[in-house]
């Protein structure tokens, strides 16, 4: 099983939202094979707790505007690792230290990486 077209569209919305708030090192993984209830993970790094919270809030807002409601959110109080569950996709917004420590890319290394495009930065 592979991630559906609607999942890819939601990933693009989430990636653009994360990028707009300074999210770094965006990686999307197709986890539909080992996890029957989820199609994809989006992993994002923020520079500090405020940045992590801002990225998560923007992702949530943009997906809601696209008609995709959050089912669950964890970690907002500490803002070191915020997990946003939207059903088909789960967005993990990490502080850089937590991302290195938990190493989800290593844990899910057998899952295919999905391409996500973020808007090019405009020259000023």
pLDDT over 70 for what percent of the chain?
94
Per DSSP, the three-state class of 45 is strand
pLDDT of residue 97: 93
Confidence tier at 93 by pLDDT (50, 70, 90): very high
Q: Is 37 within 8 Å of 16 (Cβ atoms)?
A: no
**Residues 39-49: what's their mean pLDDT?**
96
Q: What is the mean pLDDT of residues 75-102?
A: 95
Retrieve residue 74's tokens. Answer: 């964890």
pLDDT digits (tens, 9 = 90+) for 53-71: 999 999 999 999 999 999 9
Contact between residue 89 and residue 38 where contact means Cβ atoms under 8 Å apart: yes
Cα(65)–Cα(57) distance, integer angstroms: 12
What does the pLDDT read at residue 116? 87
What's the rounded mean pLDDT across residues 41-63? 97
Q: What structural domains does the chain harbor?
A: 5-114 (3.30.460.10)
């Amino acid at each position: 099983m592979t991630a559906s077209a609607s999942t890819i569209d939601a990933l693009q919305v989430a990636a653009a939202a994360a990028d707009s708030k300074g999210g770094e090192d965006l990686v999307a993984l197709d986890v539909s094979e080992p996890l029957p209830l989820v199609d994809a993970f989006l992993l994002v790094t923020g520079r500090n707790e405020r940045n992590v919270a801002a990225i998560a809030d923007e992702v949530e807002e943009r997906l809601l505007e696209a008609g995709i409601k959050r089912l669950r959110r964890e970690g907002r109080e500490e803002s070191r690792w915020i997990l946003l569950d939207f059903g088909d996709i789960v967005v993990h917004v990490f502080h850089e230290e937590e991302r290195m420590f938990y190493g989800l890319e290593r844990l899910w290394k057998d899952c295919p990486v999905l391409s996500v495009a973020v808007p090019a930065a405009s020259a000023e």
